Structure 1
């Protein structure tokens, strides 16, 4: 055995070392609408119902081993009493990552699970700050299970591709 294929004790060498580095992170797009202030809704009976939708996107950059990962959050707060929208926040937060040593078949889940995990604390702080600065109590978004989100998307895609297609007669 050679040095490259065996360790000092003769055991097989470890897999290549995974290297991930955040090269940049930034707000790509953001919108906040305070509907209460725009419509002049009185604060008589307000029971907020907050919905958070999360989507992810990743793409290869021209530079070798570099990827852009975008987390998209849509936060909608409606009044449980009458269904009126209180506020709407849309945030696209992106990171540019250098990723090396990840096998090709594991790269897609790595980009859509591990990279968003690193970005999430910054997204949480931005959402908290924007809702507070927008005239509402700061919203502390619950942790997101990016692994479960990834699995749901895979299941949705599998179901969509397995759906029978009808052809006209």
Structure 2
């Protein structure tokens, strides 16, 4: 019989993080095709802009969080800035998350969770633009870390602007 001593590394390890998608849904979606309503005059060269807003909240069930990603996608003709289409999409996902340290939970919800959601959003955007009469829009990968940092800086600037000066 041999003794197997506990390794110090095993004693100090944190429990493994758990992330599971419980459900996904389109909360709201709108697609406007301006090109069809107005008609086409000459060559059209699209300029596509994507804006993203993220929100996350704890649900009443333990370890469950809801993350909402709001996408506003506009396409305009480069030549005359005439609108071609507007797609607004609010996409929600319910996550089960365990063993994420409290100080890391906020960035986790607004960076890692949207990364998990993105392939599904990309597919919806591609299908809707194709079904709307345009070539399918295959969105570039979004840097959610940079987006999170921009939101933190914007909040800090807003708080700084609201702070009373002596």
User: Do they fold alike, i.e. is TM over 0.5?
Assistant: yes
Specify which of 60, 75, 97 is matched with residue 73 of structure 2.
75
Rounded Cα–Cα distance in structure 1 between residues aligned with 2:116 and 2:13: 25
Rounded Cα–Cα distance in structure 1 between residues aligned with 2:15 and 2:127: 40
Counterpart of 2:24 in 1: which secondary structure? strand
Cross-structure match for 2:158: 160
Specify which of 146, 150, 159 is matched with residue 148 of structure 2.
150
| Greater helix proportion | 2
1:23 aligns with 2:22: yes
Rounded Cα–Cα distance in structure 2 between residues aligned with 1:85 and 1:106: 41
Cross-structure match for 1:51: 49
Provide runs of 4+ in structure 1 moved above 6 Å.
none
Query: Where do residues 1-169 of structure 1 align in structure 2 (5 Å cutoff)?
Result: 8-11=6-9, 12-39=11-38, 41-163=39-161
Residues 10 and 45 (structure 1), Cα distance of their counterparts in 2 relative to 1, 3 Å cut: closer
Rounded Cα–Cα distance in structure 2 between residues aligned with 1:42 and 1:34: 12
Residues 64 and 164 (structure 1), Cα distance of their counterparts in 2 relative to 1, 3 Å cut: closer
Give the CA deviation at 1:24: 0.1
Gapped runs of 5+ residues in structure 2? none
Rounded Cα–Cα distance in structure 1 between residues aligned with 2:124 and 2:163: 43
* TM-score (normalizing by structure 2): 0.91
Counterpart of 2:8 in 1: which secondary structure? coil
Rounded Cα–Cα distance in structure 2 between residues aligned with 1:164 and 1:42: 47
Q: How well do the aligned residues superpose, as a CA RMSD in angstroms?
A: 1.6
Counterpart of 1:83 in 2: which secondary structure? coil
Gapped runs of 5+ residues in structure 1? 1-6
